[in-house]
Amino acid sequence: MAIEHAAVQVVRKPWGIGDLHPWSSIDVAGDPVGELWFQRTHKHAAIPALLLKLLFTSEPLSIQVHPDDEFARSIGLPNGKTEAWYILAAAPGARVALGLKRRLTPQALRAAIRDGSIADLTQWRPVAKGDIIFVPAGTIHAIGAGIVLAEIQQRSDTTFRLFDYGRQRELHEKSAVAVSDAGPVQPETGPRRITTARTALITSQHFVIELIDLPANSNWALNADRETWILAIEGRARIGSTNMSVGDAVFIEGDRSGIEVGADGMRGLMAYPGPDPVVALLQGAGELTKYAGMSAGDAPKSSETVEVQA
């Protein structure tokens, strides 16, 4: 049983930034910060299946790809890396790359990595605040400059680089060709409303990501029977004994907690292992748990609020 105000690990990157406000009050002295990793606070706690991060970019990141579970295990790793990005802020003209403009054979992909033409073959798209982008393992991708995003991913740091803008780091041609789905991406399924307070943004085998929008001065019950991460992106709330404001995260597993929402309401991201949204995770004060045990497709479509067992 655990309810923890997540600790923050600072990861410095040359493509990061020097001012993290309003997402963090950490004093960024020295090298720029590219990532904040949210971690459990207890030293000997079990390692969660998911990793929650904030990324800050002043330059484009490398064009890269991650392995799926099968390939990762074939090289002795516990799992692959599927991820998703929620755009928290984006400068005018900010963009990300997802997939390729056309399908390449393994031989053509290898040649494009060697001569650098892969940079012109990636499919770039503009992004804006509130966008959600799903990046399945095997998808060639990149994050451009001028973006702040929340990343939810399988807990893995295995990355194969295809292009790195002359940064003189190693490229991973053989592995990248082996794991890449070297073509355009499939259209994403749109967000789906679960209740008036909860919208499923991503539903995948590895994780579910919800946007939660809790009204001002409301009270909720959170019942999480599996690991659940909550990241505050607007407003304030108190979860158990933990005060949350923008950029704070809470980890909860095998426990129940109350949520008291502040005078300005609270919007946040909530993530937990997939494959399906759990209908009974968040319950408004005074509501009955009559929907507990329903499948996601049976979730109420009106203003009814349900308990969610994440």
> Alpha-carbon distance 85 to 135, whole Å?
8
**For residue 209, is it left (φ>0), alpha (ψ between -120 and 50) or beta?**
beta
Tell me the average pLDDT across 241-261: 95
Residues 57 and 89 in one domain: yes
Q: Which of 194, 202, 192, 225 is nearest to 274 (CA)?
A: 202
Q: How confident is the model at residue 26 (pLDDT cuts 50, 70, 90)?
A: confident
pLDDT score, position 175: 98
Residues 140 and 237 in one domain: no
Residues 129 and 215 in one domain: no
Tell me the average pLDDT across 87-108: 98
As to burial, measured by CB atoms within 10 angstroms (0-12 exposed, 13-18 middle, 19+ buried), residue 187 is: exposed
- What's 307's DSSP letter? -
Q: How confident is the model at residue 279 (pLDDT cuts 50, 70, 90)?
A: confident
> Alpha-carbon distance 305 to 218, whole Å?
12
Catalytic residue among 12, 40, 114, 161: 161
pLDDT score, position 285: 67
pLDDT over 50 at 310, yes or no: no
CA angle at 91 for the pair 89 and 96, rounded to the nearest 5°:
80
pLDDT score, position 168: 87
List phi, psi (to 5°) of 108: -70, -35
> Alpha-carbon distance 156 to 168, whole Å?
23
Query: Where in the sequence is the domain holding 215, given as residue range(s)?
Result: 192-298
Residues 143 and 28 in one domain: yes
Q: How confident is the model at residue 35 (pLDDT cuts 50, 70, 90)?
A: very high
Residues 44 and 100 in one domain: yes
Residues 161 and 244 in one domain: no
> Alpha-carbon distance 128 to 146, whole Å?
11
Q: What's the per-residue H, E or C state across 209-233?
A: EEEEEECCCCEEEEEECCCEEEEEE
User: In this predicted model, what pLDDT tens digit does every residue of 286-305 receive, in sequence order?
Assistant: 543 433 344 444 444 332 33
- Which pair of tokens denotes residue 45? 């706690």
The Cα-based distances of 204 to 16, 24, 84, 143, 260 in angstroms read: 29, 29, 10, 21, 29
> Alpha-carbon distance 68 to 235, whole Å?
36
Whichever domain contains 207, its CATH number is 2.60.120.10
User: In this predicted model, what pLDDT tens digit does every residue of 43-81 receive, in sequence order?
Assistant: 789 999 999 999 999 999 999 999 999 999 999 999 999
Q: Is 161 a catalytic residue?
A: yes
Of 130, 157, 179, which one is at a domain's C-terminal end? 179
- Which pair of tokens denotes residue 43? 């030293």
